A and B are shown apart, each in its own frame.
Chain A
Amino acid sequence: MAGKRFILNASRSSVQGTLINKGKESEEYLALTNTMTMLAADMVEIGLAEGQLALVRTEFGEASFKCQAGKVPAGMIFVPYGPPTCKLMGGDTDGTGMPTSKGWEVDVVPL
């Protein structure tokens, strides 16, 4: 199935903060930072099943994430910050010193 454009937001959660104490190499932390949440209807639309891997691509790079359905707005994806999101982030800071870390336009292709 063809990919569709989504808005990806990287964010943090209390679970992620707690897991840092367990280690960023722990299985739980890696699983969390490699999982993206999107609306169930959006997943159906692009042919993604719960737990399926999808390739997320920006103009700067790509990374694969496991999909889970959640209560998020249509057309949007939420994923915890981590090494996979670094691959999607561009280096331009628009003169502010901070890269854009939310609101990227991404292609999502089911794997």
Chain B
Amino acid sequence: MKQRADFIVYWGGNPAECHPRHFTKYTIMQKSKFLPRGRKDRTMVLVDIRETKSVKAADIFLQVRPGKDFELITILRALVKGQYVADEAIAETGLTRETLDDLVHRMKTCKFGCFFFGMGLSMTRGKHMNSAALLTLAAEMNAFTKFVAMPMRGHGNVTGADVIMRWQTGFPFGISFNRGYPRYNPGEFSTVDLLVRGDCDAAFIIGADPGATMPQPAIDHLKRIPTIVLDPHITHTSKLARVHITTAPQGIAAPGTAYRMDELPMPLKPALKSPYPTDEEVVRRINEAIAQKPFWLPEGSQPQLLTTIG
């Protein structure tokens, strides 16, 4: 994308505020062998429900009506294929036929297109269906030109968590190990659902602050159960936890690997020393302590998880 993307769409995201280096390092501002004039060789479209700071960087701003992203994507899929779309359906999205015809023309005639989509698409009504629709549109655009899609991730190194879980279990999140092998079922084994239903009786949280972001019923359950937090800072979660172990901040005082949004692993070298242990060291010591404990199932039971830790 940095080298070739001449048509870039940010959908339901505000990179000027939430990913402030994205424009300059990876997309519209970059000059390359294939796009030597940089910004002048690229077209940027922003799709959002309101004018954010990212609008200033956009060539075209499409203000979609709230909750109508899926409808808009579906209309674009139809227009791309030359199918009939009723005026009323287009009007529902808050946009005009001329605007969408122009967008489709630009999408078809670009050399390399890219959709970047944010939480404005993936966490509003429709959720994963919205994301799936946009991914489908990107796939279908490849009948005309090169097109890709990529999510704009939220928290630091959340891509790393997904990548590691994927190559270790085959699934990115929402995984249960309680049968001794990984099972994947978002809505059943995902963190929010487990906490809201009260299914878990302990929580171990590393470098996250669900106490400031999750729904109140989930936070209330974290307060009820023994919650252990590893975090460099005092957070809303650390304040409700039974145990808070202060750890060295990753990338500043602790080494490791962070994954960029395009899943490229980046080694982190600590610039400072910290009196606190790293997350890795704390987890290793907890694992060693657990390994010393006698196995808790009756004799003859199949030990499943505890045998290979450490």
Contact check, A102 vs B124: say whether CB atoms are below 8 A apart.
yes
Residues of A that sit less than 8 Å from B by CB: 7, 9, 11-14, 17, 23-25, 60-61, 71-73, 76, 78, 81-83, 86-87, 89-103
Q: B187-195, B255-263, B266-274, B297-305: which lies at the A interface? A: B187-195
- Known A73-B49, A91-B192, A93-B187: A100·B125 in contact at CB below 8 Å: yes
Contact check, A100 vs B214: say whether CB atoms are below 8 A apart.
no
Question: Is B51 an interface residue when CB atoms closer than 8 A count as contact?
Answer: yes
Contact check, B190 vs A97: say whether CB atoms are below 8 A apart.
yes
Question: Is B218 an interface residue when CB atoms closer than 8 A count as contact?
Answer: yes
Residues of B within 8 A of A101 (CB): 119, 123
Identify whether the interface residues of A are mostly helix, strand, loop, or mixed: loop
Q: A24-B209, A81-B212, A91-B216 are in contact. List 7 more A-B contacts (CB 8 A).
A: A14-B18, A71-B50, A73-B63, A73-B66, A94-B127, A98-B190, A100-B125
Interface size on B, as a range, is: 35 or more
9 contacts across the A-B interface (CB closer than 8 A)? A24-B236, A76-B50, A76-B66, A81-B213, A89-B215, A91-B192, A94-B127, A95-B187, A98-B123
Q: Of B50, B123, B212, which is within 8 A of A24 by CB? A: B212
Chain B positions 100 through 137: 1 when the CB is less than 8 Å from some CB of chain A, otherwise 0: 00000000000000000001101111011000000000
Residues of B within 8 A of A82 (CB): 212
